[in-house]
C-alpha cells in the first residue's frame, strides 16, 4: 500500500517503509508544513509484495516506480493500478533511476550488476552490465546529457554514454566512458552516492571516507 502526498514546487519528501497486515508498506511524507491540513494526501491501495528498496517518480507523468529486492513495480497513480513489473533477475536491487524521457530505467544491484530496461521493448532487461566487483550503491541518469553513472563500494564510479532515440525501432546505445577513482575505503565501504549536476556534464560522488568529490570534463 502506498501513501502518495502531492505538494507544491519546492517541497520535499521523506520515505519510510513498514509492515501492515503482512504486507510491506511504502509511505511518502511531505516535509512542507501545513500540507496535510490542506488535504493534499492520497492513499493508494498498492501492495508491494516485498521489501521496498527505492522509489522514484516518472519525470513527466503520474507514474511511480518502486523497487523491491528482486523487481521494479510501475504504478499509474491516476488509474490507481499496477501497469508494469520489471523483472531484474538480480540478486538484490540497491537503486534505480529513470531516464528524463521516462521510458528507460537503470537498476543497480548488490552483486555489482547494472540493468538497463527499455520499457517499450520488454519487462526484461535490455542490457545487463557487470560493472563492479562489489555492491552498487547508486545509479543516476543525467537530466540533459546522454550520460548515466553507477557508483560502488569498490571505490569507483563508472560513467557511460547512454543515447535514447526518438525512433522506437532504434535501440538505446550504451558505451562505457570513464572509470573514476579517488575515494578510499572506510569501514569496508567505498563510494556511497553519485549525482549529476543538473546542467553541466559533471558528476558528484560521496564516499565513506567523508569526502565529496566533483569530476568535470
User: What are the tens digits of pLDDT across the range 7-19?
Assistant: 444 444 444 443 4
CA–CA gap between residue 78 and residue 89 (Å, rounded): 29
Residue 132: closest CA among 110, 117, 116: 110
> pLDDT band at residue 169, thresholds of 50, 70 and 90?
confident
- Residue-wise pLDDT tens digits, 34-73: 444 555 566 656 677 778 899 999 999 999 999 999 999 9
CA–CA gap between residue 197 and residue 188 (Å, rounded): 28
- How many other CB atoms are found less than 10 A from the CB of residue 97? 21
Cβ atoms of 132 and 145 closer than 8 Å? no
> SS3 breakdown of the chain: % helix, strand, coil, rounded to 5?
0, 55, 45
CA–CA gap between residue 23 and residue 48 (Å, rounded): 7
Of the options 2.60.40.1730, 2.130.10.10, 3.20.20.70, 2.60.200.30, the CATH number for the domain spanning 92-215: 2.130.10.10
CA–CA gap between residue 49 and residue 204 (Å, rounded): 34
- Residue-wise pLDDT tens digits, 172-209: 999 999 999 999 999 999 999 999 999 999 999 999 99
The pLDDT value recorded for residue 28 is 45
> pLDDT band at residue 136, thresholds of 50, 70 and 90?
very high
Amino acid at each position: 500500500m502506498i501513501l502518495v502526498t502531492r505538494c507544491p514546487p519546492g517541497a520535499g519528501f521523506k520515505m519510510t517503509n513498514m509492515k501492515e497486515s503482512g504486507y510491506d508498506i511504502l509511505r511518502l511524507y511531505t516535509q512542507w508544513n501545513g500540507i496535510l491540513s490542506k488535504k493534499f494526501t492520497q492513499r493508494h491501495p498498492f501492495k508491494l509484495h516485498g521489501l521496498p528498496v527505492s522509489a522514484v517518480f516518472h519525470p513527466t507523468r503520474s507514474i511511480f516506480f518502486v523497487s523491491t529486492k528482486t523487481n521494479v513495480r510501475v504504478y499509474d497513480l491516476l488509474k490507481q493500478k499496477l501497469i508494469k513489473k520489471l523483472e531484474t533477475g538480480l540478486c538484490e536491487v540497491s537503486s534505480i533511476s529513470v531516464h528524463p524521457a521516462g521510458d528507460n530505467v537503470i537498476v543497480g544491484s548488490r552483486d555489482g550488476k547494472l540493468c538497463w530496461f527499455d520499457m517499450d521493448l520488454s519487462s526484461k532487461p535490455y542490457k545487463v552490465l557487470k560493472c563492479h566487483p562489489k555492491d552498487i550503491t547508486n545509479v543516476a541518469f543525467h537530466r540533459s546529457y546522454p550520460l548515466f553513472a553507477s557508483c560502488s563500494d569498490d571505490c569507483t564510479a563508472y560513467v557511460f554514454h547512454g543515447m535514447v532515440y526518438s525512433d522506437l525501432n532504434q535501440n538505446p546505445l550504451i558505451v562505457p566512458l570513464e572509470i573514476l577513482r579517488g575515494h578510499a575505503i572506510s569501514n569496508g565501504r567505498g563510494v556511497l552516492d553519485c549525482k549529476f549536476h543538473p546542467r553541466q556534464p559533471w558528476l558528484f560522488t560521496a564516499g565513506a571516507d567523508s569526502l565529496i568529490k566533483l569530476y568535470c570534463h
